[in-house]
Each structure stands twice: as C-alpha cells, then as structure tokens.
C-alpha cells in the first residue's frame, strides 16, 4: 500500500492548491470590482468637470483614469477617457491633440462594431470640425451619426447631434434647416428635462432669433445663457459668445450704452480666456511628457 501514499498526497495537494487558487481568485475578483467601481467614480467626476468647463482638470483626471483602466484591462473605459481628453482639447482649441484623440477613438469604435460608439465617434469628429469652422467637413459626420442614434433611441445623444446640425446649418446660412434641427434638439432635451445644455441651447436660440430679426427675443435668450453659465461659476466659449451676441442684439434695438458695457465685458473675458488657454496648453504639454 506504500505506493498509494504519494498519489494520495498528490491528490490532496492538488485539492489544496485548487482551494487556494479559488480563494485568490475570489480575492482578485473582489479587488478588481473595487478598482472598477473606483474607475467609474473617477470617470463620473471627469464628466462633471467637463460640464463645469474645467477642461485642464478633465485632461489630468483622464490620464489617471486611462492608467487605471489599462491596469485592470478595461479597454472600453480607457478609450472613453481618451474620448473625454479629446473633447477637452476641442474646447481648449488644441486641434492637433483633438484630432489625434478623435481619430483614435473613431478607429476603436469602428473596430468594436458597436453602433453607439460609432455614432459617438462620428459626432465627436463632427464637433471637432464644427469648432474649426470647417462646416462642410462637419456635416457628413453628424448626418452619419443621427440614424444610428435614432435607431437605438438614444434621445440625449441624438439631441446633441441635432444641436450640432442646427449650428452647422446656421453658420452656413441655411436658417430653415437650422430652425428645424434646433426644434428637434429642444424636443429631446425637454423630454429628458436635461439642464446640462441650457447655455448652449439658449445661445443658439438667441442667434436664430437674431437672424430672424427678433432682437428683443434674442436678448432674453442671451440673458438666460449668461445667467446659467454664471451660475456654474466658469468661463468658456459659450459664455463669451453669449456676451458678444448679447451686445449685438442690444445694438440692434438701439441700446448703445448697454451694448458698449456688455462689449467691454466680452473683451475682458476674451483676454482672460486667452491667458487661461495659454496656461492650460503649457500644463497639458507638461502632463503628457511627465
């Protein structure tokens, strides 16, 4: 019977090892879940900072998020953080970096064959070209994104595309289409009771009213856009643009004194934003090379 002992021992050892591996596996799974939850919270914070206009903070936070996502093997999360970095670079007008991240995300989305990711990537590319004032390049991306989002019934994302289509068409002088797309964007946003685009929507509605010779209505729109942005306590292009358009509308109704005062605010905010963007560009370059 002595020859059985090594076999019995071996079997016992295998059982012990398996139990140990199961324990380690459970511990690893628990640790992985904790890290994934932590990553989700960090990405939620980056999302919120984007709406606050803290674009430099979004970039720095996203760098940390990418590192954690890659560490736990969450490729989707890593690319989402790259998407957030690209969006921040658009707002900062760092178009070289924005193009790199937008094109990288588009390749990832198309490879994934996920319609939502593809639509988001198209909207991302379109928004980049829209910010660069390359409207002919922007429109095809928005037009490709929209049917995918409507098919999936992604109301908020579709509303954002409608907004971008409205702005693109208004900038090209196609007021009728701009109004049509604006109304569709408004329907989606109102249905969701979503307040995150109040400044953008009020600004665009004001521009539409101004282009339709309704300066008094436009003034109310611009006031609403400014009030909402100020309530968020941040300065971005939408707030600055609202002051510029508000000044133009006041000039249209003959309130030249107020138009001059508003224009002075616009000039000071523009100068402040320019200095802020220069500082951000330096910080972002340093962060990427660190």
Q: What is the pLDDT of residue 277?
A: 65
Torsion of CA 24, 34, 116, 142, to 10 degrees: -140
Give me the long-range contacts of 74-77 (CB less than 8 A, separation at least 24).
Answer: 74/36, 74/39, 77/39, 77/40, 77/43
CA 137 – CA 286 distance, rounded (Å)? 31
Q: State pLDDT tens for residues 124-178.
A: 999 999 999 999 999 999 999 999 999 988 888 899 999 999 999 999 999 999 9
Quickly state the pLDDT bin for 193 (edges 50, 70, 90): confident
Q: Is the pLDDT of residue 278 over 60?
A: yes
* Alpha-carbon distances of 241 from 48, 58, 184, 267, rounded to whole Å: 22, 22, 23, 11
Is residue 105 a contact partner of residue 83, using CB atoms and an 8 Å limit? yes
Quickly state the pLDDT bin for 280 (edges 50, 70, 90): low
Higher pLDDT, 270 or 216: 216
**Mean pLDDT calculated for residue range 49-63:** 84
Give the distance from CA 171 to its chain's centroid.
21
Q: What is the pLDDT of residue 235?
A: 67
CA 153 – CA 241 distance, rounded (Å)? 32
DSSP 8-class letter at 242: H
């Amino acid at each position: 019977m002595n020859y059985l002992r090594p076999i019995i021992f071996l079997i016992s050892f295998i059982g012990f090892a398996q139990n140990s591996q199961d324990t380690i596996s459970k511990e690893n799974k628990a640790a992985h879940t904790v890290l994934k939850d932590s990553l989700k919270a960090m990405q939620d914070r980056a999302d919120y900072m984007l709406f606050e206009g803290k674009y430099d903070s979004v970039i720095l936070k996203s760098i940390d998020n990418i590192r954690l996502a890659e560490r736990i093997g969450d490729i989707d999360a890593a690319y989402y953080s790259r998407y957030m970095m690209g969006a921040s670079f658009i707002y900062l007008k760092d178009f070289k970096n924005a193009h790199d991240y937008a094109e990288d995300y588009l390749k990832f989305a198309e490879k994934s064959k996920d319609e939502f990711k593809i639509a988001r990537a198209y909207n991302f590319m379109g928004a980049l070209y829209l910010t660069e004032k390359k409207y002919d390049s922007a429109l095809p991306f928005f037009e490709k994104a929209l049917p995918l989002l409507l098919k999936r019934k992604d109301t908020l994302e579709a509303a954002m595309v409608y907004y971008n289509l409205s702005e693109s068409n208004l900038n090209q002088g196609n007021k009728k289409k701009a109004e049509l797309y604006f109304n569709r964007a408004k329907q989606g946003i109102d249905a969701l009771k979503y307040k995150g685009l109040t400044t953008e929507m009020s600004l665009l509605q004001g521009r539409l009213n101004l282009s339709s010779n309704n300066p008094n209505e436009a003034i109310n729109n611009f006031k609403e856009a400014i009030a909402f942005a100020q309530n968020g306590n941040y300065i971005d292009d939408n707030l600055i643009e609202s002051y510029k358009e508000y000044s133009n509308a006041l000039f249209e109704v003959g309130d030249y004194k107020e138009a001059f005062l508003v224009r002075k605010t616009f000039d000071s905010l523009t100068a402040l934003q320019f200095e802020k963007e220069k500082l951000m560009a330096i910080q972002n370059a340093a962060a990427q090379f660190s």
